[in-house]
Each structure stands twice: as structure tokens, then as C-alpha cells.
Structure 1
Amino acid sequence: MRLTVRSLPLRPALARPALSLALSLALALLTSPALALTCGNTGAGFEAWKAEFAKVARRQGVGKRGLDALAQARYATRTIAADRNQKSFKYSLEKFMQVRGADTIVAQGRKRKARNPEFYAALERQYGVPAGILIALHGMETAFGSFMGDSAVVSAITTLAYDCRRSDFFIPHALAALELVDRSAITGATKGAKHGELGHTQFLPGNALTYGVDATGDGRVDFYDMTDALASTANFLRQKGWQPGRGYQPGEPNFAVIKQWNAASVYQQAIAIMARRIDS
């Protein structure tokens, strides 16, 4: 199958100019006594929290579809279990690459690049990000789209926003998920990873809203379409400071940008190693 990438300006197709301001205002609202949100460590208070969160969402302009998706969200026990048990990031680099199938990702990644070189070349021309990086991320995140998750995105992300452990981090992403529903980018039933990441490269909803690109030109950003997803990934990296033509190994300029994608050191190193092998 031949994939194409439309020539697009270097700007996010889904982003609102005032997104950061809106989310900042939302977080400010959370400190208001009238709209204080009560986090919890069990599912017992989730329904009451949703009612509180709906008030914040309405004030941020979330419409009927987004609010309906929130109302239908369920406390995601598997998400909480996964959040408490992220063992793989504690492995050594060698063990991490073995567990995550690095050799298979590289072998399959080289074949994918060889089958459709112009697709990846077009992305690099537009965003400056080489094929190896995009392919390594695609392989690491979803085995090239073969498994994009089995958890309802809205339920997962609102559960994490409610959970006391990292509610401040996930609340903006929960608001973004509801806006994505409003924009028909996802629905309340859309499946993703257990932490609410979605699509081929597992964007968190806030990043999807901000960096999403309609590379196919069909008027919709679809993170479950490989072309849109990889263009959005390249756009994310470019907007985070990717320097075209510069290196991406540890100590080189673009390695710092890989850190913006995932905070785990073993993940960052693995991506850099696999990308170099794919690009070689």
C-alpha cells in the first residue's frame, strides 16, 4: 500500500491557539472552593468526582458529546493496576531491549522503510525527523499498529485524573480527551492504552489535541490512521525542538527531544539505538 503525506505547514492541525491558556484556567478553577475536585485512591468516589469535573469541563467549553462521554466513563481498575506496576522501565538497557523486542522492531522497521521509502522521506523533508526515529517509536509503542490498546481512552484518562497519585498531570489530558470527542477525533468508546494513550504512536490526549496533523487531507486528524499518526509524531518532535540533520544519540542535540517523548532513560536509549540501526 502506498501512503502519501500532503505538504502541510509546520503547525498542529488540531490545536487551539489558546489551548495552554484554557488548560491553565482550568487548573486555576480547580483551586476554587466552589469547584474543588476531590481525588480518590479507590473507585468509591469516582461518580461524584465526574459530576464535579463536568462543571470544570463545561466552563472550558466542552460540549454535549464530550460531556456525554464523561458521564459514560467507568472507573478503570486495570489502568490503576498498570499505573502501580510499571516494572519494565526499571530494567537495565539490555534487558529492556530484550523484553520490548528491539531486534524484531529493527528487522521489521528496515523492511517497512524499504517498502515505502518515499513516505518516510516526505516526512523527513517536512519535519526534519529521520525515518529511523519514527519507525522505532511506531514499533516500540504499538508493534507497528498491531496492538493499539484495549482500554477505553476516556475512562482511562479520567480515572487517572481522579486518582490522587498524579491527578494534576492527568487533568489537562482528561479535558483534552473530552475536546477530542467534541471534535470527532475519538469517541467515548475509542480504545487505547491503559494510560489513555491513543493511536499508532500512543499520544496522550493533550498532545494529540496540540500536535495532531491531518496529513491525508481528509479534514480529520485520525490517530488510528498511520499517515496522520506518524505525521503528528514528526510534528511533535519538531515542535519540541528537533534539529534537522543533527544527531540523536546520547550527547547529541536531538537526544534531548527524544526525552520529551518518554521520560524513562532506558526507553530513550533504546529508541536512539534502534533508530540508528534502522537508518544505517
Structure 2
Amino acid sequence: MRLPLLTSLFCLCLAAPALTAPCGNTAAGFTAWKKDFARDARRAGVKTPGLQALQTAQYASRTIAADRNQKSFRYTLEKFMEIRGSTTIIAQGRKRKARNAGFYAALERKYGVPAGVLIAIHGMETAFGHFMGDSQIVPAITTLAYDCRRSDFFLPHAIGALKLVDQGAITPATRGAKHGELGHTQFLPGNALQYGVDWGGDGRVDFYDMADALASTANYLRKKGWKAGKGYQPGEPNYAVLKQWNAASVYQQSLAIMGAGIDR
């Protein structure tokens, strides 16, 4: 499940393709939608492997159920941090930073993002890589592209997932989160293409490799406006960048608190 060398080689149009098939809120129209979407995907540069993955994708009912039931983002900050295990993330995060201090220092020199932020993201997204998802990426992301609720947002990521299949980066069976995110820090496929970093220098970007995933996360934040040496607490210059990672205010607040706790 690896991505080809260098993000400069990636070509992904992030404008959502104009579809003739209507979106839908049940499985009933998914097959017809896929046929029309295949034509748009082909025009966007998706090749035979990606088109075949689209053809075999089944409507992901579990993904829709998860999308309709995101209760944690409606909790208070205290409850959200409790559910996400903030105390454990901070404690384990400090140990991870100490064990691999050179790696995190190198990331901060290159991208300006301190270790605490990256480690807190890693902890919140996948419990430091212990659980990276149990849903097939292609069915999940194409179902969300078809679903009326946020179709425009997910359409470019569906194209991205099919291009990842073309490149051999993922297969139709590769698993990630229920919304189609992949790897240690749960990148959406379109973002994986744009911001992926080959930190290990092996000629591949692998979001299931911790170093590549965290470097890619740091690169994403930098490209979204992170300013080296500036703070990331509420009211400080980099706090607004946290919204680019996750739009939920409780997530942003938790990330700032956990990051500071790890970097202390």
C-alpha cells in the first residue's frame, strides 16, 4: 500500500467533476451513479485498474451509518478529551518523543511543526497506528461521493482513491477509516496525493509507514499556513491551521492541549 515517488509527480484535479447522475441517500441509485461517475473518472485520468475498482465497489452502509452518527464532536471539550484518551496520549506521547527525539527534531527543522502536534494527531487518529481502520477505502469514499450530504466534498477524494489504485498504492481491498481515510494519520485520498512525503527516501510514499505519514502530516500543515516558531494555542498564529486538519472545534482545542502537554 505505497504511493509513488514525490508529490510533484502527482496530478489530481481537486475540482469536483460535473456529474450527470444524481446523488442519492440510499443504495438504490448507487449502481447507476457509478456508471456515470466512471465516465467522469476516465476524463480525469483514471485508468483501467481504478475503473475496475469502482465497478466492483459496493455501497458502504456502515460508512453512511458512521457519517450520520458523529456524536463525539457534539460533546463538551472535557468529555471529548476523556473519550479520546487525552491523558494516555499525552503520557505515551512524551515517551514517544523522547525515544525518537532526532526524528521529531528533524521534522520540525524542515516543516516548522513541533513534535507535540504531530504526536497528538497520531494518537487521536489511530492510537499511534494501532488501529488504522477496518473499512475498504474505495467503497467508503465512493459511497460518500454518491451520498447527497457532502457529495461535492468527497468527489475529488473518490477520484484520488481510484488514482491510488491505478498507481498500485492501494488495492480495492485496502482498509482505512469509515470515511475513506488511510494510514497512520488518516489522510483522505486526494490529500494523500497532494501532500505525501517520502521521508524514508526509498522512492515511495507510504502512509502505512509512520515516518512517511508524520512527515506528510507536517508537510500538510505547513502548506496550510503553519508558521515555524509561532504558537498553536487559541489566539496564537498557528491555532487557525488546526482547523485545516479537523473542522470540529473540540478537536482543535484538544489537539492544542495535548500537543502542549507532550511538548512540555
Report what 2:152 is aligned to. Answer: 168
* Alignment equivalent of 2:191, drawn from 195, 207, 213: 207
Separation in structure 1 between the aligned mates of residue 8 and residue 249 of structure 2, nearest angstrom: 29
Residue 104 to residue 132, structure 1, CA distance change in 2 (3 Å): same
C-alpha contact 2:14 2:190 (8 A) present in aligned 1: no
Is 1:102 paired with 2:93?
A: no
Structure 1 counterpart of 2:28, from 44, 47, 65: 44
Distance 1:167 1:176, change over 3 A: same
Mapping 1:92-171, distance limit 5 Å: 92-171=76-155
Is residue 2:247 matched to residue 1:274?
no
Structure 1: how far apart are the matches of 2:84 and 2:11?
38
Deviation at 1:72, TM superposition (A): 1.5
Aligned to 2:50: 66
Residue aligned with 1:198, SS: coil
Amino acid at match of 1:144: F
Distance 1:131 1:265 in 2: 21
**1:152·1:196 contact (CA, 8 Å) conserved in 2?**
yes
User: Is the partner of 1:176 in helix, strand or coil?
Assistant: helix
**1:264 pairs with 2:248:** yes
Show CA shifts across 1:95-117 (max 9, x none).
Answer: 00001100000011011011110
Matched position secondary structure for 2:205:
coil
Q: Distance in 2 between matches of 1:119 and 1:177?
A: 29
Q: Deviations over 1:176-216 (max 9, x none)?
A: 11111112221111100000011000001111111011111
AA at the equivalent of 1:148: M
Other-structure match for 2:232: 248
- Identify if the C-alpha distance between structure 1 residues 17 and 225 changes in structure 2 by more than 3 Å, giving closer, same or farther: closer
Alpha-carbon distance between aligned partners in 2 of 1:257 and 1:42, rounded to the nearest angstrom: 35
- In structure 1, runs of 5+ residues without a counterpart are 1-11, 31-35
Matched letter for residue 13 of structure 1 = L
How much does 1:17 deviate? 7.0
Partners of 2:230 and 2:245 in 1: CA distance? 18
Name the aligned partner's letter for residue 163 of structure 1: D
Q: Secondary structure at the match of 1:145?
A: coil
Equivalence for 1:5: none
Which amino acid is the alignment partner of residue 31 of structure 2? E
User: Structure 2 regions of 5+ residues with no counterpart?
Assistant: none
TM-score by length of 2: 0.96
Cα shift readout 1:228-267 (whole Å, capped 9, x = no counterpart):
1000000000000100000000000000111100000000
The 8 Å contact of residues 132 and 184 in structure 2, kept in 1 or not, is answered as yes
Moved over 6 A (4+): none
Match of 1:85 in 2: 69
Distance in 1 (alpha carbons) for counterparts of 2:90 and 2:239? 19
**Matches of 2:212 and 2:166 in 1, distance apart?**
19
